[in-house]
A and B are shown apart, each in its own frame.
Chain A
Amino acid sequence: MRRGGLRRLARRKSTVAFLLTLPLIVLIAALVIYPAFYSIYLSMLNKTLERLVGLDNFRFLFTRDTFWMVVKQSCIFAITAVLFKALIGFCVAHFVHNVPAKGQRKWRGMLLIPWVIPPAMSTLGWFWLFDPSYSAFNWLFVRIGLPAVTWLGDPLWARFSVILVNVWYGAPFFLIMYLAALKSVPEQLYEAAAIDGANWWQKIWYVTLPMMRNIIAITVLFSLIVTFANFDIVRILTAGGPIDQTHVFATWAFLQGIEGGDLALGASVSLFMFPILAVAAIFILRDINRRGNEAS
């Protein structure tokens, strides 16, 4: 009787599915959920981690000018970088899409290189290009009669540099996602549009973009999360300097928590990303759901 019950349970598809996904669930619980709750716990402790202080760490952060500067910079960094990555990815995806199928694989492979190199390594390469004293760019500038630029020493140029490297690294991800989306747009739609007399721009606006809306939204959301939480590029290029003008949440949290020995405050800074990203995710995913419902 008991054996029969077990057999029935094992035969149920949902049970099998659950058992198959169990290792992953355990892995996520151990590596994501536990650390997430632990960091919430840390953020509610005092500096010496001896007593609970509730939301005092967040209250303290709200009184610090540097914290608000970091919030502003993180937003500028993430939004600007994602915007350019999306734009460049969209344009290049179109070029690659129009390359004859025979040579397309080569182009796809080459354009993906920045994305597959470990970012810490490629950022070191950029660091040498921007090097305060021996910048390769400056070497070139001086030879063509332009003044040398203090890439990482001037706040504005330093911001430009970290965004540039992030765009260079992340644009191939957009490219590959958009290319996949472009390939799934039915050719008949373009033919119908051509019969209706649509020009190139109108085809993009009325056919390509609407068909790619969901993939654009998801790609932007995904990239926004990753860019917002970026650490390596800023850490290697500027370490947040000069005068804190390039810090983002992750680098400032590291500075406070690990280097500054204030783990509780570091955890609070890193958790502050969560509500910002949650709001962005809710808006973007709601839009996708709405369109999904309209389509069905």
Chain B
Amino acid sequence: MSRRPFTRRRFLGTTAAASAATIGFPYIRTSHAAGSLALGFWDHWVPGANDTLTKLCQDWGKKEKVDVKIDYITSQGNKNMLTITAESQARSGHDILAHPAWYALTYARQLEPLDDVMNPLIKQYGKVATAAEFLCKSGGKWIAVPAVTGTQVKPPCARLDLFKQHAGIDILSMYPVNKAPTKEADNWTWETMVVAAEKLKKAGSPIGLGIGQTTDSIDWVGAMFHSFGADLVDAKGHANVKTDAVKQVLDYSKRLVAAMPPDVFAWDDASNNKYLISGQGSMIMNPPSAYAVAKRDNPKVAAQCYTFEMPKGVKGRYAPFLPFLWALWGFSKNKSAGKSLLAHLLQRENVEKLVNASIGYDIPSFESMRDFKVWQQVEPPQGAVYHYPPRGTEEAWMACAPAPASIAQQMYTQSIMTKMIAKYTQGGEPMDKVLGWAASELEGYQRS
């Protein structure tokens, strides 16, 4: 059987001629095979989620005569980051690789622009979450597409019973089952949360939000800083550390830390899950994975766990967002096939299959796709994760944005915001010293 390469000309020619329906299949299949594609996807936590992605890719491969090879790369021990770094150095490896949040921007120069994939999709499905666009675009060009698998937000997951009994807050009256938030949700602010946290601590069931150096901690703290208006670095790269907003968020954190367990500074991404599942904690901020494990390990607790929006601050309500991105290396030998596959995977019906396979864990970055049935179906309790995807009243926010990527990635990996809180609260350092330390760190991150 003869083999014909999947050329750029072939990809462009067919996309131009095709209608909106052909976006997922932007070239005309011939009887010739079209080479191979090596894919490196994130290894999903949710059992079975990888299988759906494999099937989607293989079905596409069969149809388009492309030989598809898939590796699922775990983020345990940062193996995915090591793979990206190694492939970038070796300039060989997979064609498409899943990049965690900042990585696509870090390797932007080595990635293939994907405007011809994203622009038609945006025309078809509308706006992509601002935070995802921020991470996928470099120099005005799309250098990655927002992945479905692994993309998540980390809103509060709280115990309905404990909040009602000890804090006097009826979560369902703010966030009713499978319905849009009510007017009462306007009162769900950071101030309301800290007052509730103090009451819950007195009752022996404190809320537990990690202030360590892993993503769960950094993401919610990043969203909190932004909703206080405390962006440490602006989009142009200028540091804004010694501002009233930063001082306010640190003072607020002091009250919050006092109402939480003393070990939150050592929490990793598993600690908050264990804390909720044990029945001890009244609230954490996490994707529904903690709830899913509670359903298996402690169903009584799970039956009271309800996921809903983040508290509101003076600048708005922001959901801690942690996306994965799919990017195509510039050294790929089969770019057109890669682009075609990415467009295929981001078709609404395929996105829905992937979200269903993750039992609602994955969040589509296209805002028009946040109405899938799966978020209504997960229970008990009824509507347990209906309010998990941000839908207009809350915006997905990437911690450390809007700083330029090179600075933001350092801010994120060095977890500067959680360290500021730790220094000010646990370390007992004066405000000026903490702000001075942060300013000096940020100066270091600006190195080019």
Question: With a CB–CB cut-off of 8 A, which chain A residues contact B262?
Answer: 150, 153
Contacts A133-B274, A255-B414, A258-B81 given; does A242 touch B422 at CB 8 Å = yes
- Whether A47 lies near B261 (C-beta < 8 A) is no
Question: With a CB–CB cut-off of 8 A, which chain B residues contact A239?
Answer: 212-214, 268
The minimal Cβ–Cβ distance linking B416 to chain A, given in whole angstroms, is: 11
- Whether A241 lies near B410 (C-beta < 8 A) is no
Bound Cα distance A255, B81 (Å): 11
- Could you give 24 example pairs across A and B, Cβ below 8 Å? A47-B406, A47-B448, A48-B109, A60-B444, A64-B444, A132-B266, A133-B261, A133-B274, A133-B275, A133-B278, A150-B266, A239-B212, A240-B213, A241-B212, A242-B212, A243-B423, A243-B426, A255-B413, A258-B82, A258-B85, A259-B78, A261-B107, A261-B406, A262-B410
Question: With a CB–CB cut-off of 8 A, which chain B residues contact A150?
Answer: 262-263, 265-266
The minimal Cβ–Cβ distance linking B236 to chain A, given in whole angstroms, is: 18
Task: Kindly identify, within residues 128 to 169 of chain A, every residue whose CB is under 8 Å from any CB belonging to chain B.
Answer: 131-134, 150-154, 158
Map CB proximity to A onto B203-235 as digits: 1 under 8 Å, 0 otherwise: 000000000111000000000000000000000
Task: Kindly identify, within residues 219 to 261 of chain A, every residue whose CB is under 8 Å from any CB belonging to chain B.
Answer: 238-244, 255, 257-261
Listed from nearest, the 6 A-B pairs whose CB atoms lie closest are A153-B266, A132-B263, A261-B106, A152-B266, A153-B263, A259-B413
Partner of A241 from B261, B266, B280, B427 at Cβ < 8 Å: B266
Map CB proximity to A onto B79-98 as digits: 1 under 8 Å, 0 otherwise: 00110010001000000000
Bound Cα distance A242, B268 (Å): 11
The minimal Cβ–Cβ distance linking B270 to chain A, given in whole angstroms, is: 9
Bound Cα distance A81, B130 (Å): 49
Q: Does B138 contact A (CB under 8 A)?
A: no
Bound Cα distance A133, B106 (Å): 36
Map CB proximity to A onto B99-123 as digits: 1 under 8 Å, 0 otherwise: 0001100110100000000000000
Question: With a CB–CB cut-off of 8 A, which chain B residues contact A244?
Answer: 419
- Whether A134 lies near B423 (C-beta < 8 A) is no
Question: With a CB–CB cut-off of 8 A, which chain A residues contact B271?
Answer: 131-133
Q: Which residues of A contact B (CB under 8 A)?
A: 46-48, 60, 63-66, 131-134, 150-154, 158, 238-244, 255, 257-263, 265
Contacts A48-B448, A241-B212, A243-B423 given; does A260 touch B264 at CB 8 Å = no
Question: With a CB–CB cut-off of 8 A, which chain B residues contact A134?
Answer: 274, 278
Q: Does B244 contact A (CB under 8 A)?
A: no
The minimal Cβ–Cβ distance linking A198 to chain B, given in whole angstroms, is: 51
Partner of A242 from B106, B275, B410, B426 at Cβ < 8 Å: B426
- Whether A243 lies near B419 (C-beta < 8 A) is yes
Bound Cα distance A260, B271 (Å): 23
Contacts A133-B274, A244-B419, A255-B413 given; does A46 touch B448 at CB 8 Å = yes
Bound Cα distance A152, B210 (Å): 13
The minimal Cβ–Cβ distance linking A276 to chain B, given in whole angstroms, is: 22
Contacts A133-B278, A239-B213, A239-B214 given; does A259 touch B266 at CB 8 Å = no
The minimal Cβ–Cβ distance linking B7 to chain A, given in whole angstroms, is: 30
Interface of chain A: mostly helix, strand, loop or mixed: loop
Closest to A237 in B: B266
Bound Cα distance A259, B409 (Å): 9
Q: Does B447 contact A (CB under 8 A)?
A: yes
Bound Cα distance A259, B78 (Å): 8
Question: With a CB–CB cut-off of 8 A, which chain A residues contact B278?
Answer: 133-134
Closest to A157 in B: B266
Closest to B81 in A: A258
The interface on chain B, measured as residues whose beta carbon lies within 8 A of the other chain's beta carbons, has a size of 42
Bound Cα distance A244, B444 (Å): 16
Bound Cα distance A64, B414 (Å): 13
Bound Cα distance A244, B81 (Å): 21
Bound Cα distance A153, B409 (Å): 24
Q: Does B372 contact A (CB under 8 A)?
A: no
Question: With a CB–CB cut-off of 8 A, which chain B residues contact A64?
Answer: 444
The minimal Cβ–Cβ distance linking A242 to chain B, given in whole angstroms, is: 5
Bound Cα distance A87, B106 (Å): 47
Bound Cα distance A154, B448 (Å): 34
Q: Does B440 contact A (CB under 8 A)?
A: yes
Question: With a CB–CB cut-off of 8 A, which chain B residues contact A133?
Answer: 261, 263, 271, 274-275, 278, 280
Q: Does B267 contact A (CB under 8 A)?
A: yes
Question: With a CB–CB cut-off of 8 A, which chain A residues contact B265?
Answer: 150, 153, 241-243
Bound Cα distance A255, B82 (Å): 11
Bound Cα distance A149, B89 (Å): 44
Question: With a CB–CB cut-off of 8 A, which chain B residues contact A152?
Answer: 263, 266
Q: Does B441 contact A (CB under 8 A)?
A: yes
- Whether B447 lies near A47 (C-beta < 8 A) is yes
The minimal Cβ–Cβ distance linking B2 to chain A, given in whole angstroms, is: 39
Contacts A65-B440, A260-B413 given; does A242 touch B448 at CB 8 Å = no
Question: With a CB–CB cut-off of 8 A, which chain A residues contact B109?
Answer: 48
Bound Cα distance A86, B275 (Å): 39
Bound Cα distance A140, B55 (Å): 50
- Whether B263 lies near A261 (C-beta < 8 A) is no
Closest to A50 in B: B109
- Whether A158 lies near B448 (C-beta < 8 A) is no
Question: With a CB–CB cut-off of 8 A, which chain A residues contact B213?
Answer: 239-242
- Whether B422 lies near A66 (C-beta < 8 A) is no
- Whether A260 lies near B409 (C-beta < 8 A) is yes
Partner of A258 from B78, B214, B426 at Cβ < 8 Å: B78
Contacts A47-B447, A153-B264, A238-B266 given; does A260 touch B414 at CB 8 Å = yes
Question: With a CB–CB cut-off of 8 A, which chain B residues contact A262?
Answer: 410
Closest to A261 in B: B106
Question: With a CB–CB cut-off of 8 A, which chain A residues contact B447?
Answer: 47, 60, 265
Bound Cα distance A239, B102 (Å): 20
Bound Cα distance A238, B265 (Å): 10
Question: With a CB–CB cut-off of 8 A, which chain B residues contact A257?
Answer: 85
Question: With a CB–CB cut-off of 8 A, which chain B residues contact A261?
Answer: 85, 102-103, 106-107, 406, 409, 413
Question: With a CB–CB cut-off of 8 A, which chain A residues contact B81?
Answer: 258-259
Bound Cα distance A265, B406 (Å): 13
Question: With a CB–CB cut-off of 8 A, which chain B residues contact A66?
Answer: 441
The minimal Cβ–Cβ distance linking B102 to chain A, given in whole angstroms, is: 7
Question: With a CB–CB cut-off of 8 A, which chain B residues contact A259?
Answer: 78, 81, 413
Question: With a CB–CB cut-off of 8 A, which chain A residues contact B280?
Answer: 133
The minimal Cβ–Cβ distance linking B367 to chain A, given in whole angstroms, is: 29
Task: Kindly identify, within residues 401 to 448 of chain B, every residue whose CB is under 8 Å from any CB belonging to chain A.
Answer: 406, 409-410, 413-414, 419, 422-423, 426-427, 437, 440-441, 444, 447-448
Closest to B441 in A: A66
Bound Cα distance A46, B447 (Å): 9
Question: With a CB–CB cut-off of 8 A, which chain B residues contact A263?
Answer: 85, 89
Question: With a CB–CB cut-off of 8 A, which chain B residues contact A153?
Answer: 262-266, 426
The minimal Cβ–Cβ distance linking B422 to chain A, given in whole angstroms, is: 5
Most chain B CB within a 10 A radius of its CB, from A48, A132, A150: A132
